[in-house]
Chains A and B, each alone.
Chain A
Amino acid sequence: MRRYLPAALLLALFVAAWQGVASIHSVDNLTLASPVETWHSLRHDHTLLLSNMWVTLEEVLLGLAIAVVAGAGSAIVMHMFRPLRDAAYPLLVASQAIPIVVLAPLFVLAFDYGIGPKLAIVALICFFPITVNMLDGLRSVDPELLKLMRTLRASRLATLVKVELPASLPFFFSGLRIAATVSVIGAVFGEWAGADKGLGRLVLLGNNQLQTPRVYAGVVILTLIALILFALVTLAERVAVPWNRETPA
């Protein structure tokens, strides 16, 4: 518990400062909702917030799942076929340079109004950290170890499955941690481009209707989703990669 004390203290300090600034008379409560007002909104609007949260959560989780499958899959394929890696790597980087805000409305045009464009956007921004980290992980294997596998007459596939994939797991999880946190941003952008439900849309709507506390309540929930996802990935890593903790190095 002592480990979490500094974080809790800093959070308390932040909330206090927020409340302090919001209480200054010259600060309009349309510009800045105080923590207390946000809390009231969370309690008062909780049915509305929750029902929209499930929509966004579905977009985030499905999009993330697509990114994991596509990211890990393409990392493995690119690793196994060197020319493909050399050809596709610049494209991979370029895909990250595209401003999602610009792309999102185009996706809505292409995939219509439903969950499709949201998944596409979440998957697109989550794909990159997973692929790049996993590729690094697959390449991180000690060349001496690969030599040893050759003398053991291991097939290319056996080397991949028995050595390279387990070795890449810690890298994969690093990528997934980053992906999990940005996935929420992706879902919000997707909903801004065109949606009839979801927290992102609720926040946008609240902004237009000057319901500032509700906007803040939505943001708080979105942040919590990202935090919980991050924690879950960390937990999953501990289960899947126990040897990484045992080694002091």
Chain B
Amino acid sequence: MQTKIEAPAPEPLSLAQTAVAVRGVRRDYRSRRGLLTALEGLDLKVHEREVLAVVGPSGCGKSTLLELIAGLQEPDAGSVEAGGMGDRQRRLDACAYLPQRDLLLPWRDALANAALALECQGVSKAEARRRAAPLFERFGLAEFERSRPAELSGGMRQRVAFLRTLLAGRPVLLLDEPFAALDAITRASMQEWLADALAAEPRTVLLVTHDTEEALFVADRVAVMSPRPGRVVDEIAVPFARPRHRKETVTGPAFTELRQRALEALER
């Protein structure tokens, strides 16, 4: 259980204290009804090794925010930095992205799907499998290495996708509603699994979700976004110690109070 995750990046990126910085960002979309502003005046910071959850109503530009940070898009105004870099290519190098759907390749078994992240960096197929294997053991996927995605449950698939994200070896993880497609029971167990995984493998994480309970359970800090054009209207520090256990954490009065505050911020 002590296996360390190998960081495949040849040289670890030296990180500033702030891992992600978003300053005064605006992002417009051209649509048939004219220009649509998805984000406006958005400021956000994620500290190194901090788990920040971003909650907001649907359509508030949460996914756009992630794609901006990941280097998949450029802002129309303001600046975005990840891993201390503003340049789009460098942001792509600093971030690993877990999309809403697992996007596993149906022709690859689970291990090869996770190993894809290493293969894309030029690691050979066999070597990539060898390096990915210890993670399966560690994250409750032992014996599923050779299963095809079609043979796995939704929760299992999302775990494999998360391992793929980890194996990319980037300092910043961007998770776009990773559990939205799962049923309530699986979602709850996956939140616990993610909290454990992040306790074992601390990374800078930006988790986008529309579920305030999920945000408060998993994150160190929660940023609440307004409806479109999206910007941050409240930031809530989450004081609960780690490792967190669902039963104790979620049922406590402190949790209920924070949840109330988040919901009020959402309604503003």
Contacts and interface: CB of A to CB of B under 8 A. Distances in A.
A148 B150 contact: no
Interface stretch (B51-59, B96-104, B256-264): B96-104
Interface stretch (B23-31, B115-123, B192-200, B244-252): B115-123
User: What's the dominant secondary structure at chain A's contact region?
Assistant: helix
A246 B96 contact: no
Contacts of B70: 151
> Which range contains the number of A residues in contact with the other chain?
20 to 34
Contacts of B97: 147-148, 151
A21 B23 CA distance: 85
Interface string B66-91: 01001110000000000000000000
B218 interface: no
A158 B117 CA distance: 11
B92 interface: yes
Nearest to B125: A162
Interface string A136-174: 000000101101111111110010001100100000000
A243 interface: yes
A152 B120 contact: yes
Contact of B93 (A153, A243, A244, A247): A153
Contacts of A247: 106, 150
Given A144-B103, A247-B150, A152 B72 contact: no
A152 B115 CA distance: 11
B148 A148 contact: no
Nearest to B109: A243
B105 interface: yes
Given A153-B120, A162-B116, A148 B107 contact: no
> Which range contains the number of B residues in contact with the other chain?
20 to 34
Contacts of B71: 151
B151 interface: yes
Contacts of A147: 67, 72, 97, 99
Nearest to A149: B120
A154 B99 CA distance: 16
Given A144-B99, A152-B120, A166 B105 contact: yes
Contacts of A151: 70-72, 92, 95-97, 168
B99 A163 contact: no
Contacts of B150: 243, 246-248
A145 B101 CA distance: 9
A145 B120 contact: no
A166 B108 CA distance: 10
A96 to B, nearest CB: 31
A142 B121 contact: no
B101 A144 contact: yes
A241 B119 CA distance: 22
A148 B103 contact: yes
A154 B148 contact: no
A54 B108 CA distance: 40
A142 B148 contact: no
Nearest to B170: A151
Contact of B116 (A150, A152, A246): A152
Contacts of A163: 105
B200 to A, nearest CB: 23
A154 B97 CA distance: 13
26 contacts: A142-B103, A145-B103, A147-B67, A147-B72, A148-B97, A149-B120, A150-B92, A151-B71, A151-B72, A151-B92, A151-B95, A151-B168, A152-B117, A152-B121, A153-B93, A153-B120, A153-B121, A155-B120, A158-B119, A162-B120, A166-B107, A242-B107, A243-B106, A246-B106, A247-B150, A248-B150
* Cβ-closest 6 pairs across A and B: A154-B120, A151-B97, A152-B120, A243-B106, A243-B107, A247-B150
Given A144-B101, A151-B168, A246-B148, 4 more contacts: A147-B72, A150-B72, A151-B72, A155-B120
